[in-house]
Amino acid sequence: MTQASIVARRTTSSAPAKIVVALNINGQQRELEVAPWTTLLDALRDHLGLTGTKKGCDHGQCGACTVLVDGRRINSCLALAVMKDGAEVVTIEGLSTSDALHPLQQAFIDHDAFQCGYCTPGQICSAAGLIAEGKATSPAEIRELMSGNICRCGAYPNIVAAIQQAMRQS
């Protein structure tokens, strides 16, 4: 992506120009105009109305904001939307491409892998990234590579079981 793709538009105030960002969100091409300091998380929730992705700590410590960007799991609270121009983003809303639940969503239900559910979209997107990476096989490896997702209800044993089920299906 070159500088030419960044179209800076002056707003009426003296604030820095808003910037047009093109993102492929859950398979749909979207264009939005954001201030430079808008995080990907805020762009998803406040600009695109995709509130499935949750804001927990907003400092990269809890993992509730985890989404897949170009196939990799990241903390969307620490990513600037302007820096992701041209990227493909998958959120919990787009994880399943059909009317059926994604295998991870079904596995989380089957294993009762949540209580309050606030961390769940981040857990599931993170688990999707984990499965795609293919580095975890044992429960210990799953726990270690899921440690960026905190569950304050403590559903961890069931989360690991759900991920193992989805892994067997993938």
- Contacts with another protein by CB under 8 A lie at 1-3, 6, 15-16, 19, 35-37, 39, 58-60, 63, 66, 72-75, 78-80, 82-83, 126, 129-130, 133, 135, 138, 140-141, 143-145, 147-149
Residue number, 66 or 165, with CB nearest to another protein: 66
In the complex, least distance from residue 99 CB atom to another protein, rounded to whole angstroms: 29
Residue number, 13 or 28, with CB nearest to another protein: 13
Cβ atoms of 32 and 23 within 8 Å: the answer is yes
Cβ atoms of 36 and 19 within 8 Å: the answer is yes
Residue number, 28 or 134, with CB nearest to another protein: 134
What 3-state DSSP class applies to 35? coil
Distance CA 155, CA 118 (A): 12
Owner of token pair 């538009």? 9
Residue number, 73 or 102, with CB nearest to another protein: 73
In the complex, least distance from residue 15 CB atom to another protein, rounded to whole angstroms: 6
- DSSP for 98-165, written as a single string: SSSPPHHHHHHHHTT--SS-SSHHHHHHHHHHHHHHT---SHHHHHHHTTTS--TT--HHHHHHHHHH
In the complex, least distance from residue 119 CB atom to another protein, rounded to whole angstroms: 13
Residue number, 112 or 133, with CB nearest to another protein: 133
In the complex, least distance from residue 3 CB atom to another protein, rounded to whole angstroms: 6
In the complex, least distance from residue 17 CB atom to another protein, rounded to whole angstroms: 8
The pairing of strands 18-25 and 88-90 is parallel
